[in-house]
């Protein structure tokens, strides 16, 4: 990497709350059973939903916006405040979502099926570009704003894009994010159709067994949430952590949602991220650089193939000396397009506190003497893997 990228601000909301430590409530998950949808899910708490509704009431134009857009507005406001950026500064914005405005889309399409007519605001409020453009409007920003969807690796692809803009010199500051508000009947039905979702009858203490490599069935649980991260190039006194390496890869598909048994895409993305950090690791060779990685926040969606294939990819790269492995999806669910940055939020908290998120139903791991470098993984349908290497500030 030409120059390290400083993370100077971050804000996140999930089933644990707003900007709360995922490291708290050890052993407890934040998933709940929704009887109306007959499904386990990771819902935002009532106090966070009230904060979102407060934003909706601020501006009559916000009344028609999807929840995913309002989530993004909330975390983006908080992130720039954390970074000390001013409203109306010219910085880049790239915020994505896997499902987009699915709540409004399902609502408007149901109405269309009933009366054969579309409501006036159906198109502008459900288009994918809706999310970053409204954040830019809210922050009075005149820089570039970009929206995209790369399924579950969306948020980390936003970060990749922010790094590229900064390294190119086209921006001095860049905010990246991901937002997901997809706890809807059609989305849950789609996950069930693929046989990936945790059973409603699942009476286990933990409805989502992410990172349990011995589970007998798929246990993915959908969550909602959002995160925004402020990036600046170079060493900064206010940095929360540094991005020192980035990696990405796409593997050849056998079908639309496939991933190879040893996650070739993750092998390539992790290797690329570690090699990209060579400057930060002062010219060490690759085998020595592997020893610098203290922990990995895995994608680990809670499915049998998803979890085991990523684990095998890690084994392929790190061989017999595995870093500490963890994930947050057993606690907050899989937040699709927001999940990568929620994992990054966990990694930053681990770097700052020198504690780690223990997964209570797997064998205890030996904590490293120090946690200075953490790899964060995400992959989406289509085999689009991203790995980000973070260093302690």
Rounded-to-integer distance, Cα 192 and Cα 195, Å: 5
Give me the DSSP letters along 113-144.
HHHS---TTHHHHHSTTHHHHHHHHHTT--S-
Q: What pLDDT is stored for residue 258 in this prediction? A: 57
Residue 358, burial from CB neighbour count under 10 angstroms (0-12, 13-18, 19+): middle
Q: What pLDDT is stored for residue 260 in this prediction? A: 79
84: number of Cβ within 10 Å? 10
Listed in sequence order, the DSSP H helices in 40-101 are: 46-56, 67-83
Rounded-to-integer distance, Cα 24 and Cα 372, Å: 20
Residue 78, burial from CB neighbour count under 10 angstroms (0-12, 13-18, 19+): buried
Nearest to 76 by CA among 174, 6, 5, 163: 174
DSSP state of 334: B
Q: Are 100 and 126 in contact (CB under 8 A)?
A: yes
How far lies 218's CA from each of 210, 223, 306, 313, in Å?
9, 16, 9, 19
* Residue 303 CA, distance from chain mean position: 17
Q: What pLDDT is stored for residue 129 in this prediction? A: 83
Residue 50, burial from CB neighbour count under 10 angstroms (0-12, 13-18, 19+): exposed
Q: What pLDDT is stored for residue 59 in this prediction? A: 96
Q: Are 115 and 57 in contact (CB under 8 A)?
A: no
Q: Which residues of the chain have pLDDT under 70?
A: 21-22, 24-25, 255-258, 282-283
Q: Kind and range of the H or E element at 187?
A: helix 185-193
Q: What pLDDT is stored for residue 21 in this prediction? A: 67
**Using one digit for the tens of pLDDT, what is the confidence trace for 261-301?**
889 999 999 999 999 998 877 667 898 899 999 999 999 99
Rounded-to-integer distance, Cα 178 and Cα 292, Å: 28
Rounded-to-integer distance, Cα 16 and Cα 267, Å: 31
- pTM (whole model) above 0.85: yes
Q: Are 179 and 52 in contact (CB under 8 A)?
A: no
Per-residue tokens: 115: 């009366």
Q: Kind and range of the H or E element at 112?
A: helix 102-115
Q: Are 65 and 52 in contact (CB under 8 A)?
A: no
Residue 274, burial from CB neighbour count under 10 angstroms (0-12, 13-18, 19+): buried
């Amino acid at each position: 990497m030409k120059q390290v990228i400083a993370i100077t601000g971050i804000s996140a909301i999930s089933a644990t709350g707003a900007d709360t430590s995922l490291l708290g409530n050890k052993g407890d998950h934040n998933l709940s059973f929704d009887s109306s949808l007959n499904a386990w899910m990771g819902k935002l708490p009532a106090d966070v939903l009230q904060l979102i509704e407060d934003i909706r009431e601020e501006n009559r134009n916000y009344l028609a916006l999807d929840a995913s857009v309002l989530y993004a507005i909330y975390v983006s406001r908080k992130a720039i405040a954390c970074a000390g950026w001013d409203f109306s500064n010219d910085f880049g914005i790239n915020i994505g979502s896997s499902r987009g405005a699915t709540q409004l889309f399902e609502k408007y399409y149901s109405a269309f099926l009933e009366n054969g007519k579309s409501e006036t605001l159906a198109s502008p409020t459900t288009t994918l570009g809706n999310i970053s453009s409204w954040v830019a409007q809210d922050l009075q920003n005149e820089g570039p704003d970009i929206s995209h969807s790369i399924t579950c690796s969306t948020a980390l692809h936003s970060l990749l894009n922010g790094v590229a803009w900064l390294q190119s010199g086209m921006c001095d500051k860049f905010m990246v994010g991901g937002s997901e508000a997809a706890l809807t009947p059609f989305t849950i039905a789609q996950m069930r159709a693929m046989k990936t979702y945790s059973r409603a009858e699942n009476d286990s203490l933990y409805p989502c067994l992410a990172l349990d490599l011995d589970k007998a069935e798929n246990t993915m649980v959908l969550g909602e949430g959002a995160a925004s991260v402020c990036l600046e190039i170079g060493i900064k006194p206010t940095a929360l952590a540094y991005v020192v390496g980035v990696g990405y890869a796409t593997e050849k598909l056998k079908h639309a949602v496939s991933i190879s048994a040893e996650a070739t895409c993750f092998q390539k993305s992790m290797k690329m991220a570690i090699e990209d950090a060579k400057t930060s690791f002062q010219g060490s060779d690759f085998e020595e650089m592997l020893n610098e990685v203290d922990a990995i926040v895995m994608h680990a969606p809670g499915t049998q193939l998803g979890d085991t294939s990523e684990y095998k990819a890690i084994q392929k790269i790190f061989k017999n000396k595995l870093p500490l492995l963890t994930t947050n999806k057993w606690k907050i669910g899989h937040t699709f397009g927001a999940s990568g940055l929620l994992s990054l939020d966990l990694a930053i908290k681990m770097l700052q506190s020198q504690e780690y998120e223990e997964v209570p139903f797997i064998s205890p791991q030996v904590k490293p003497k120090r946690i200075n470098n953490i790899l964060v993984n995400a992959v989406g349908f289509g085999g689009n893997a991203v790995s980000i290497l973070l260093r302690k500030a």
